[in-house]
A and B are shown apart, each in its own frame.
Chain A
């Protein structure tokens, strides 16, 4: 079971890693409301791909749970589970819970 604070930390650390890797300027403040997908997004579409992979690997490294965030279920939701840091954090928790042995 991943606590919300742990999942949030992973998402934010991954986001910072992607900013660094892509040379993207990080916003002054990152929080639950930081937009990841759409018009005001802080990342482009490739940045999102990198972010998702980074989070999957960090979850596995820290918690030993192998997850796929871009699952069929996730991709068919009306509202993207990647749209903000907060929503993505909740998605990480739900996915890890489903994948836990």
Chain B
């Protein structure tokens, strides 16, 4: 199996929003970018490959990782961005909606980490960044299940760091403040304003903020930064 010279970065949920921004950002930085989402994507770049995969589908994830490995022989970075949210009072949340959020946000993250780490461990190198949210630490009413799923991601990532550290793989979490993407387009403006007013830095997050934190986590020099979570906007 030949190994690509270009570092390989997998970003999930790359069809739109932050995932898409990061896919294009890291293409510009010289990465071979592998993206995935349930739908098709129109990123046209010789160094971008899209996988139409639901991250909660074990077989689909396995096939995607196998395909990347076959073509490039390496995976250097995983950005687990794919997630779904549903703003609902818990008394009005159907089990199906809750289960789907857990499947995509928790199981999906786990599956991608698991199969990518198997490739990373052979080269004794890897950087995993799992996306969480500030709505978990701020306990935002109306986001109970979504926040719970993202809290699970943080705990999962902390433990993953210990399980994979011996193979040179770092695992960290990143929680953005609200960013104007499709994910929050249905959230009432007064709710968004209330969240922003509670931040140390009173502004919406930006995709550039996300790239900045990812740059730090995936830097080869960050080999002793693992099991950490960074939230934007002063939230801890």
Q: Are B1 and A56 in contact (CB under 8 A)?
A: no
Interface stretch (choices A2-10, A28-36, A60-68, A81-89): A60-68
List the B residue with the shortest CB-CB distance to A46. Answer: B166
CB-defined contacts of A50 to chain B, threshold 8 Å: 121
Within 8 Å by CB of B62, from A46, A57, A66, lies A66
Q: Are A66 and B63 in contact (CB under 8 A)?
A: yes
A contact patch SS: helix
Q: Are B66 and A66 in contact (CB under 8 A)?
A: yes
Count of residues in A whose CB is under 8 Å from the partner chain: 9
Q: Are A53 and B62 in contact (CB under 8 A)?
A: no
Interface range on chain B (Cβ under 8 Å from partner) = 10 to 19
14 other A-B residue contacts (CB within 8 Å) besides A57-B119, A66-B62: A46-B166, A50-B121, A53-B118, A53-B121, A56-B118, A57-B118, A57-B122, A60-B66, A60-B69, A61-B1, A66-B63, A66-B66, A68-B58, A68-B62
Chain A residues in contact with chain B, CB under 8 A? 46, 50, 53, 56-57, 60-61, 66, 68
Q: Can you offer 16 A-B residue contacts whose CB atoms are under 8 A?
A: A46-B166, A50-B121, A53-B118, A53-B121, A56-B118, A57-B118, A57-B119, A57-B122, A60-B66, A60-B69, A61-B1, A66-B62, A66-B63, A66-B66, A68-B58, A68-B62
